[in-house]
Amino acid sequence: MASKSSTAKSAKKRKHTSVETDNPVDMEDCQPKKKKSKKKKGKKDADKTLGSSSDVESAPVQKLFNSHDDSEIWSNDEVKQLLDKVQEMYPANLKGHDVSYRRSMTKINWDTIMVEPHSPAQCKAKFTDLLQKVNSLRTLPEMITAARKVKQAALYVGVKPKLPPSVFMLYCQDYRERHKGTHIQGIDLGKGYRSLSEKKKKKFESQYEEQRVQYEKQMAEFKLKNPDMYPVKTYTLRKVADKVPKVVYPLTLYVDHLMEKALAENKDADRTEIRNHGKVKFASLKPKKQQKWLEEAVLANKDLEARVKIYLEKNPENKVNSVVLMRNAQRILEKARGKPEKPQSAFKIFSQQNASQLTHLTTQLQRKQNMEQWKALSLSERVEYEKQALQDKMDYEKKYRLYVQNLSADERAELEKKKEQNKKNAVKSTELYQKRVTELDFSPNGDHHDSDDEMSDVIPDTQVPTKIILNSAKKNATKWSPTSSPDQEQMTKIKSPKKSSPSKSKKPVLPSPSTSDSLSEDDKEQSPSPTKPSVSKKVVPSPKKVVPSPKKAVPSPKKAQKRKASSSSSSTSSDSSEEETVAQPPKKTKIVAKRKSTSSSSSSSSDSENEVLTQKPVAKHGKKGTPSVPVTKEASSPVKTKSPVKTPAAAKPDSSSSDSSDSGSSSSDSEPEKTVKKSPAAQKSPFTTSAVKKVVSQSESSSDSDSDSELDT
């Protein structure tokens, strides 16, 4: 071992000596070495004081921040000047490169080197100081090159306040104090720290806290004095707005809880299994148990609205998922808060009373029978049920008022907001409805009122005579898509704006690809719309446009420098110095090239860049926010794999949601196809105010509305 190293050493030595003409005689003058030894001593002294004064908390911190003259502080620029000047001088004084830097240092005439506010002596001090920060085992030119790479932060060593030792470090100090003379291994420290009693730990924590406060004070002062080291970052604000607000779902909270529990019991528990298990378990939880998590989720998303608002201001084209609770979850919470169940309709009451006679039939047949019998009822018979329904409704109103009274101020405000939203939606839907009626050449029925489920819920409106009319109108309306939307909107705590047309206007047609928000998931279970395939086909092309920009962090070659430090000295120094300087430019160009390639790949045509920028977040959002993944999944990687098979399937659930049709018709009327397809029932069963009875009796294709009414309970 020894012989091996010695031969290597001698070989290197020979190289040096062969070029070097004189023996290193005047080493006394070599500043770095002297300084180094001095520095080490000084450091050791400082350490000693640190160690010994572990009882006196404030002492070490004060040492960290020496009062200093401003001329002691060097900016990056000044350091660069200094290095330039020394390098300039160097070749004039020394011919060869293969000279120990110590020798070179003796030849430098420091009186001629000066960088503005600093005296020559300070320059010399700074330079030697800098050299200490790089491996000293090389020639001066090499060291200068290396010194250029010294981080600016390093320039402030001794001036900048030091980080206070962490709690753990404080413990280490204490431990070493107690185990002086013994060989302490890192692992011992770790073990000891973990088994530290709370009391002792607190002692160290308070000690740390004190030092930290001091450190922050000193840092604030330091930052004021060195503004160039801490340039004001202008992007921080933007960053907040750029972050897509994330929804914390109740399920996530529940699964996290399960995970924590399981891992505490068994460290090696299968995480994915726990996660999957949690999903299933949560769904089967009883409402009361679910409630806890729902409430927790609501709490966790308290500031979501504000964040979404900020985000949307910055990114108006994007959609943000802000639905915390799905419809069922919301109902559970509402029920827990005392919200009364919706009043029974006359038909519902009738069918319930009738149910006992039809138990032998399947539910489907039961419904059919019910409908037929209901149709067959005489008006007077029906009025009986209507009366009951009215009573039910009045009861409901009472309960509802009580419920609102018992709500907290926040919750009431939330409700008010919903009301507003619903009103807007209602207006929208009536407008659409009227349009539709006129289109179909039916006499428009003046005041159609909202025909809205939720509205009748929020603002109960009671007028017996119109009851039947309303009912019938409602039936027709519910068949026609828009009416269902307000109910869904209720779930959206904050209604995210639909994609505005301007961004789309550039692109060809693309009807309304407003990939409906997460409601879709809820919806797809409920509405088995027969229009699926045709609509989904339409939607397909849109994701193709989304071009993901491959965001790859360029790996920074860091340690290479360090390693070179030692290796370069072994090889011929002149070579390595050249290598370093030459090797740099290519690196830079590489990075530039990479950047170019990324930008160009993401945007083949120059003005498509904008599109990319605006579209990318949408895909992102979908990925994170909405649980209905498929669309976004393939949207995020359309380049890699064109999946023509997947896309239609993926688009299905989205298109099936009635919300999409809502947005489509709200933005423009350019799609008669869609609306017509969506409302086949409306076509079949025309209704006028005058022909109420007809409408009531006509409701043959009522399985739709039937199920709807059932859902309403």
Partner DNA sequence: CAGAAATCACTGAATTGCTT
Partner DNA sequence: AAGCAATTCAGTGATTTCTG
Instruction: Kindly tell me which of 102 and 448 has the beta carbon lying closer to DNA.
Output: 102
Shortest distance in whole angstroms from residue 208 CB to DNA: 7
Select from 157-165, 290-298, 537-545, 613-621 the region that touches DNA (CB under 7 A).
157-165
Cα–Cα dist 582/569, whole Å:
17
Shortest distance in whole angstroms from residue 217 CB to DNA: 12
The reply to whether 225 sits near DNA by the rule CB under 7 A is no
The reply to whether 267 sits near DNA by the rule CB under 7 A is no
The reply to whether 550 sits near DNA by the rule CB under 7 A is no
> Which residues ranging from 332 to 391 are in contact with DNA (CB under 7 A)?
none
Cα–Cα dist 700/682, whole Å:
12
The reply to whether 565 sits near DNA by the rule CB under 7 A is yes
The reply to whether 10 sits near DNA by the rule CB under 7 A is yes
The reply to whether 137 sits near DNA by the rule CB under 7 A is yes
Instruction: Kindly tell me which of 105 and 371 has the beta carbon lying closer to DNA.
Output: 105
The reply to whether 135 sits near DNA by the rule CB under 7 A is yes
With the CA atoms of 476, 480, 482 and 486 taken in that order, what torsion angle do they form, in degrees rounded to the nearest 10? Answer: 50
**In the 8-state DSSP scheme, what is residue 400?**
H
* Contact residues for 176 (Cβ-Cβ < 8 A; gap 6+): 51, 184
Select from 186-194, 338-346, 428-436, 466-474 the region that touches DNA (CB under 7 A).
186-194
Q: Which of 125, 159, 189, 377 binds DNA (CB under 7 A)?
A: 189
Cα–Cα dist 395/340, whole Å:
9
Select from 146-154, 483-491, 584-592, 674-682 the region that touches DNA (CB under 7 A).
146-154
Q: Which of 145, 173, 345, 430 binds DNA (CB under 7 A)?
A: 173
| DSSP code per residue over 128-187 | HHHHHTS-SSSBHHHHHHHHHTS-HHHHTTTTSPPPPPPHHHHHHHHHHHHTTTS---HH
The reply to whether 153 sits near DNA by the rule CB under 7 A is yes
Identify whether the C-beta of residue 338 lies closer than 8 Å to the C-beta of residue 346.
no
**In the 8-state DSSP scheme, what is residue 323?**
-
Identify whether the C-beta of residue 550 lies closer than 8 Å to the C-beta of residue 602.
yes
Q: Which of 184, 285, 358, 377 binds DNA (CB under 7 A)?
A: 184
DSSP tally for the chain: helices H, then strands E: 38, 0
Shortest distance in whole angstroms from residue 142 CB to DNA: 11
Shortest distance in whole angstroms from residue 701 CB to DNA: 57
Instruction: Kindly tell me which of 51 and 287 has the beta carbon lying closer to DNA.
Output: 51
Amino acid (1-letter code) at residue 204: F
Shortest distance in whole angstroms from residue 248 CB to DNA: 21
Q: Which of 92, 187, 264, 280 binds DNA (CB under 7 A)?
A: 187
Cα–Cα dist 590/33, whole Å:
38
Helix-strand-coil split of the chain, %, nearest 5: 70, 0, 30
Identify whether the C-beta of residue 501 lies closer than 8 Å to the C-beta of residue 633.
no
Shortest distance in whole angstroms from residue 575 CB to DNA: 14
Shortest distance in whole angstroms from residue 548 CB to DNA: 21
> Which residues ranging from 477 to 496 are in contact with DNA (CB under 7 A)?
none
Instruction: Kindly tell me which of 230 and 442 has the beta carbon lying closer to DNA.
Output: 230
Cα–Cα dist 125/114, whole Å:
12
Instruction: Kindly tell me which of 204 and 282 has the beta carbon lying closer to DNA.
Output: 204
Q: Which of 226, 373, 503, 570 binds DNA (CB under 7 A)?
A: 570
The reply to whether 128 sits near DNA by the rule CB under 7 A is no
3-class state of residue 100 by DSSP: strand
Instruction: Kindly tell me which of 434 and 570 has the beta carbon lying closer to DNA.
Output: 570
The reply to whether 167 sits near DNA by the rule CB under 7 A is yes
Q: Which of 19, 51, 305, 608 binds DNA (CB under 7 A)?
A: 51
Instruction: Kindly tell me which of 16 and 309 has the beta carbon lying closer to DNA.
Output: 16
The reply to whether 552 sits near DNA by the rule CB under 7 A is no
Instruction: Kindly tell me which of 174 and 521 has the beta carbon lying closer to DNA.
Output: 174
CA distances from 289 to 257, 294, 507, 575, 656 (A): 13, 9, 49, 73, 32
The reply to whether 232 sits near DNA by the rule CB under 7 A is no
Instruction: Kindly tell me which of 173 and 344 has the beta carbon lying closer to DNA.
Output: 173
Cα–Cα dist 386/392, whole Å:
10
* CA-closest candidate to residue 712, choices 455, 386, 344: 344
Q: Which of 19, 89, 219, 269 binds DNA (CB under 7 A)?
A: 219
Instruction: Kindly tell me which of 180 and 286 has the beta carbon lying closer to DNA.
Output: 180
> Which residues ranging from 54 to 113 are in contact with DNA (CB under 7 A)?
60, 100, 102
For residue 289, the Cα-to-chain-centroid distance in whole angstroms is: 29
Question: What does residue 85 show for φ and ψ, rounded to 5 degrees?
Answer: -65, -40
For residue 504, the Cα-to-chain-centroid distance in whole angstroms is: 25
The reply to whether 693 sits near DNA by the rule CB under 7 A is no
Radius of gyration of the chain measured on its C-alpha atoms: 38
Contacts of the segment 349-357: beta carbons below 8 A, 24+ positions apart? 349/385, 349/388, 349/389, 349/392, 350/374, 350/377, 350/385
| DSSP code per residue over 266-312 | -TT--HHHHHHHHHHHHHHS-HHHHHHHHHHHHHHTTTHHHHHHHHH
The reply to whether 640 sits near DNA by the rule CB under 7 A is no
The reply to whether 597 sits near DNA by the rule CB under 7 A is no
Q: Which of 194, 199, 239, 552 binds DNA (CB under 7 A)?
A: 194
Cα–Cα dist 370/231, whole Å:
76
Residues binding DNA: number (CB under 7 A)? 59
Q: Which of 203, 212, 277, 309 binds DNA (CB under 7 A)?
A: 212
For residue 405, the Cα-to-chain-centroid distance in whole angstroms is: 37
Q: Which of 136, 598, 637, 707 binds DNA (CB under 7 A)?
A: 136
> Which residues ranging from 18 to 47 are in contact with DNA (CB under 7 A)?
24, 27, 33, 36-37, 40, 47
> Which residues contact DNA by CB under 7 A?
2-3, 5-6, 8-10, 12-13, 16, 24, 27, 33, 36-37, 40, 47, 50-51, 60, 100, 102, 132, 135-137, 151, 153-154, 162-169, 172-173, 176, 183-184, 186-187, 189-190, 193-194, 208, 212, 219, 558-559, 562-563, 565-566, 569-570
